[in-house]
Structure 1
């Protein structure tokens, strides 16, 4: 079994691939703390992340996401565990969990001071000059 990443955080996608599994059988993908891998496999006490079937050649590939709200946010050494039905066949791969980094807020634009309102030009005190008519012949 292999993972496409070795480090992850909550909400990040990982692809899990396996070969040489019982063809046509369902498999379950779980996430456990690294020190609990053997006990989890022995008892079958694991929370599934995803389930899929093994193809006719004994291969599978599935994408999983580290779930939020289940204690993974603080980070630590974990493992992805893949089990066949009843955990008769099981494999694990290490996955280092890192705390998510805060997304920086974009800076807010400083508003420009408003431009002063221009006053209209004062009216002309003088009446407009009369126009001359040119006689036509």
Structure 2
């Protein structure tokens, strides 16, 4: 990652090496002043890029929180338990890059149904349901 930010500085370092040999110190001082300004500009550009990235990440996080809150409200109105809903939807939202409230609700209800079926089953049925739940969870919430 550091290389990504240092790479734009390589041409400037090349300038120092090639265009300002030690034999001509007067050129070296002038060139160092020019390069110093260019390096400062590059550092400012990198800082702005990092700030934009942080803002995008915060914006995405806030959007996911709003989506989860919307889905929680809908499920609570359906009579679901608040603690379970919040925990489950938060976990689902973390596993997905992009999701909407409808997707979260459907996934929650499907997972709940899988768990309910597994708890009612006996013997081989329970083992099959457990395996199905593992397969389901292992594919980022998508059935195989």
TM-score w.r.t. the length of structure 2 is 0.17
Bigger RCO (CA 8 Å, 6+ sep): 1
TM-score w.r.t. the length of structure 1 is 0.18
Question: Which is richer in strand?
Answer: 1
Query: Of the two, which has the highest radius of gyration?
Result: 1
Question: Which is richer in helix?
Answer: 2
